[in-house]
């Protein structure tokens, strides 16, 4: 079967670190034909890095990666002599790709550009896998989802931590009824981001292009929180602050209480102010017959697994990945390709990707209005411009 032809749009940190890794590990299914960045040097670096990674991963994942990703045999590449790996074309203007023979693109540009990038490629008839957050306003997310449906194209969102083996085990426990009724869950993201981090890219910490700590650093765990609690929000009450980063527009700290329609309650605590470095990222779930806490560097290791007659789980000993991004992009990309081939929904659709972002926008709206907000909402990060935190 011919490989799907793909392009990477945006060759910054996440594009080079994780998208190229996922393209390389899945190179039996994907032919990366182009890499695009407005800075030519970054695109050239990505093209070289892809070739290097294909050599590294061509016979499959490392043992740790296979464990962390639970990569299916069907997603593992064959050897170099069974297919040709070409260096992708270097592009600085993605409009050159709109009329090319490409099946799908992955978008790893600045958050504030995700909406336009996605709309342009969907309009051109390409499937799109977009990094989180898929957009920075409820209206834009809805437009992206509607256009994908109209064009009968796949729209996926990179919430790759859903593929972490411990998270998959948690999902199985929920679906099997092992918890009984789930009462509440807590997402804690206690990290550090210093001034050097924001100086690396001028778009970070702006309402027009990024959002704050909750949108950038915390959205993965917020996605997991809403996923395990049912996803349908009734009301949010939140407080946000900028305690320690007065050189950015947005919050560096936020807390929220989320009431879900099924009666469960979610609690979020997110900060970029932990001294002197990242402390923890945990997801804790509490039910009438079960308690689970998942932590590790990228919500990748079970810390507590308590059910009737069960105290512990083999995934308590999983190794940490190299970065907070984890290894889930590999399986995410494999699933997205299979969704195109099999003409089914990807594991994380646009509708699913919207939920966490809508919660974060609800937090911002509550902080702005200093009162609880009911769902659904119509809000954008730009509605926060000029608000003193």
**Residue ranges with strand state E in 46-165:** 89-91, 104-107, 127-131, 155-158
Averaged over 189-205, what is the pLDDT?
96
**Mean pLDDT on 345-362:** 98
Taking alpha carbons only, the member of 224, 254, 219 closest to residue 236 is 254
Q: Is residue 389 part of a domain?
A: no
| Total-model pTM | 0.93
Based on its alpha-carbon atoms, the radius of gyration of the chain, rounded to whole angstroms, reads 20
Question: Could you give the C-alpha distances from 172 to 7, 63, 228, in angstroms and in order?
Answer: 34, 24, 10
323 falls in which pLDDT band (50, 70, 90)?
Answer: confident
Look at residue 77 and tell me whether its pLDDT is greater than 60.
no
What's the pLDDT at 57? 53
pLDDT single digits (tens) 211-220: 999 999 999 9
Q: What is the pLDDT of residue 56?
A: 63
For residue 91 the two structure tokens come to: 């592009």
What are the backbone angles phi and psi of residue 134, rounded to the nearest 5°?
A: -65, -25
- Residue 94 placed within a domain: yes
Q: What is the pLDDT of residue 321?
A: 87
Average pLDDT, the chain: 93
d(CA 272, CA 204): 13
pLDDT at 24: 95
pLDDT mean over 295-320: 95
pLDDT confidence band for 343 (50 / 70 / 90): very high
Residue 104 phi/psi, 5° resolution? Answer: -155, 160
* Domain shared by 125 and 179, yes or no: no
How wide is the angle at C-alpha 236 spanned by C-alphas 230 and 241, nearest 5°?
125
Q: What is the C-alpha separation between 178 and 254, in angstroms, rounded?
A: 32
Task: Give the number of other Cβ atoms within 10 Å of residue 306's Cβ.
Answer: 14
Query: In whole angstroms, what separates CA 347 from the centre of its chain?
Result: 12
Which H or E run contains 255? strand 253-260
pLDDT in tens, 78-137: 444 345 688 999 999 999 999 999 999 999 999 999 999 999 999 999 999 999 999 999
Q: Are residues 137 and 10 in the same domain?
A: yes
At residue 130, what are phi and psi to the nearest 5 degrees? -115, 140
**Which strands, in side-by-side order, build the sheet including 253-260?**
310-311, 301-307, 290-295, 280-287, 182-190, 265-271, 253-260, 233-241, 373-374
Whether 380 has a pLDDT exceeding 60, the answer reads yes
Does the residue 201 lie in any domain? yes
Domain region containing 67: 4-161+326-349
Task: Please indicate, yes or no, if residue 28 is contained in any of the structural domains.
Answer: yes
The CATH number that applies at residue 334 is 3.40.50.720
Domain co-membership, 304 together with 345:
no
CA distance 270 to 219: 10
Task: Decide the pairing of beta strands 280-287 and 182-190.
Answer: antiparallel
Looking at the structure, do residues 168 and 317 belong to the same domain, yes or no? yes
Residue 286 has pLDDT above 70, yes or no: yes
CA separation for the pair 106, 128 (Å, rounded): 6
Q: 386: phi > 0 → left, psi -120 to 50 → alpha, else beta; which? A: left
72 or 234: which leads in pLDDT: 234
Given a cut of 50, whether residue 65 has pLDDT beyond it is no
Domain of 245: which CATH number?
3.30.360.10
Q: In terms of domains, do 197 and 318 share one? A: yes
pLDDT of 84 = 65
Residue whose tokens read 């390409």: 126
pLDDT at residue 66 greater than cutoff 80:
no
Overall average pLDDT of the 66-86 stretch? 46
Number of domains into which the chain is organized: 2
pLDDT value at position 55? 74
Q: In whole angstroms, what is the distance from residue 197 CA to residue 272 CA?
A: 11
Q: Tell me: the pLDDT tens digits for 168-193? A: 999 999 999 999 999 999 999 999 99
């Amino acid at each position: 079967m011919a490989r799907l032809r793909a392009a990477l749009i945006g060759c910054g940190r996440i594009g080079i670190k994780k998208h190229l890794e996922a393209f390389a590990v899945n190179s039996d299914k994907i032919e990366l034909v182009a890499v695009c960045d407005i800075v030519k040097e970054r695109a050239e670096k990505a093209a070289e890095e892809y070739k290097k990674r294909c050599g590294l991963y061509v016979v499959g994942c490392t043992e740790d990666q296979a464990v962390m990703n639970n990569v299916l045999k069907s997603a593992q590449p064959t050897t170099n002599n069974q297919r040709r790996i070409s260096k992708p074309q270097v592009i600085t203007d993605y409009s050159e790709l709109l009329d090319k023979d490409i099946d799908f693109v992955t978008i790893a540009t600045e958050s504030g550009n995700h909406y336009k990038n996605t709309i342009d490629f969907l309009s051109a008839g390409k499937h799109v896998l977009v990094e989180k957050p898929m957009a920075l306003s409820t209206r834009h997310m809805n437009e992206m989802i509607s256009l994908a449906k109209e064009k009968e194209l796949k729209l996926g969102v990179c919430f790759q931590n859903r593929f972490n083996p411990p998270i998959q085990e948690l999902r199985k426990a929920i679906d099997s009824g092992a918890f009984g009724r789930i009462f509440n869950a807590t997402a804690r993201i206690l990290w550090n981001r210093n001034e050097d981090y924001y100086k690396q890219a001028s778009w970070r910490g702006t309402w027009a292009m990024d959002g704050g700590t909750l949108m950038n650093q915390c959205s993965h765990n917020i996605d997991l929180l809403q996923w395990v609690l049912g996803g349908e929000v009734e009301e949010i009450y939140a407080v946000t602050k900028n305690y320690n980063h007065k050189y950015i527009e947005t919050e560096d700290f936020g807390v929220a209480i989320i009431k879900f329609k099924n009666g469960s309650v979610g609690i979020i605590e997110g900060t970029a102010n932990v001294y002197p470095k990242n402390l923890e990222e945990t997801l804790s779930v509490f039910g009438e017959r079960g308690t689970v806490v998942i932590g590790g560097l990228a919500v990748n290791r079970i810390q507590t697994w308590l059910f009737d007659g069960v105290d512990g789980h083999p995934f308590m000993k999983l190794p940490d990945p190299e970065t907070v991004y984890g290894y889930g992009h590999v399986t995410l990309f494999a699933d997205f390709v299979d969704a195109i081939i099999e003409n089914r929904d990807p594991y994380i659709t646009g509708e699913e990707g919207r939920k966490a972002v809508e919660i974060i926008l609800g937090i911002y709206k509550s902080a702005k209005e200093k009162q609880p907000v009911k769902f659904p909402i119509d809000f954008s990060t730009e509605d926060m411009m000029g608000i003193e935190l």
